[in-house]
Structure 1
Amino acid sequence: MIKNPDMKKINEDPELEFELQEVYLTGRQWQSDLAFLEEESNFLAEQLSESHQPAIAQTSQHNLATRLANAREIHSGIRIKLGDFIRQLEPLLLETDPDPELKLLEDFIALQTAIQDALTVLKGIKYALVEARRAA
């Protein structure tokens, strides 16, 4: 990273400090969102199990179960990336490494997109399950 001599250190730049705290809190909120996704996917997995599935077509059940398994795998990957992201932020907040890198912003945007997509996918699976039950 090229250092700019005109850049202020975080403790001299309250706006940057505030923004980093906001990003950190957003990361913590994303951890809560991922916990919700995990609980929701566990509920959907239970609903897709044989004992809870009265009359939905076997192909629909298999398709939804596969989509849910893929979504759960993606959630796991996001959880790992999010943990790494938060670990990158902590030294900045503690001012032990006062120079944030551009990659931090790129990681933030990638995580934001991934979490929004994960929520959308899970919602789609829920709606598909409801429609499969209606069709049965």
Structure 2
Amino acid sequence: MKKTNEDPELEFELQEVYLTGKQWQSDLSFLEEESNFLAGQLSAPYPPAIAPPSQHNLAARLANARDIQGGIRIKLDNFIQHLELLLLVTEPEPDLALLEDFVALQAAVRDALDVLKGIKYALVEARRAA
């Protein structure tokens, strides 16, 4: 098998995937900060208060989103470590599983961003309705 460092095109592509993974880590850090902010907003006692059923629903959705984000972070960290091995230790060429993991992580990060955006919009709407 050809080593990664002997294939400049493959190494370039792996570096791009690595940088994309690092961007996803930044996105997840942003999601964590946003989740903390939204949790604070949901527990804030100032008016206009959100009706208890809506507040409970949003809090449950946020807790679920945070759990999902934690799972994505673990998978992403493992993915990044695998890429580092491919780039630095020159393991054998990557297999199809690497591409499958990339696509799955891409969808998961995008979905996590969309879920948090939906929670933010729902919180704004609930505050307007109160």
Normalised by the length of structure 1, the TM-score is: 0.90
User: Structure 1 residue 80 and structure 2 residue 74: aligned?
Assistant: yes
User: Structure 1 residue 41 and structure 2 residue 41: aligned?
Assistant: no
Where relative contact order (Cα < 8 A, 6+ residues apart) is larger, the structure is 2
One-letter code aligned to 1:65:
A
* CA-CA distance at 1:101 after TM superposition: 1.4
Task: Give the whole-Å Cα distance in 2 for the aligned partners of 1:36 and 1:133.
Answer: 23
**Alignment gaps of 5+ in structure 2:** none
Task: Give the whole-Å Cα distance in 1 for the aligned partners of 2:103 and 2:64.
Answer: 22
- For residues 37 and 53 of structure 1, do their structure 2 counterparts lie closer, same or farther at Cα, with a shift above 3 Å needed? farther
* CA-CA distance at 1:53 after TM superposition: 5.5
One-letter code aligned to 2:105:
L
Normalised by the length of structure 2, the TM-score is: 0.94
Identical amino acids, percent of aligned pairs:
77
Matched residue SS, 1:31:
helix
- Residue 123 of structure 1 aligns with which residue? 117
2:50 pairs, out of 48, 56, 60, with: 56
Task: Give the whole-Å Cα distance in 2 for the aligned partners of 1:125 and 1:51.
Answer: 19
User: Structure 1 residue 24 and structure 2 residue 56: aligned?
Assistant: no
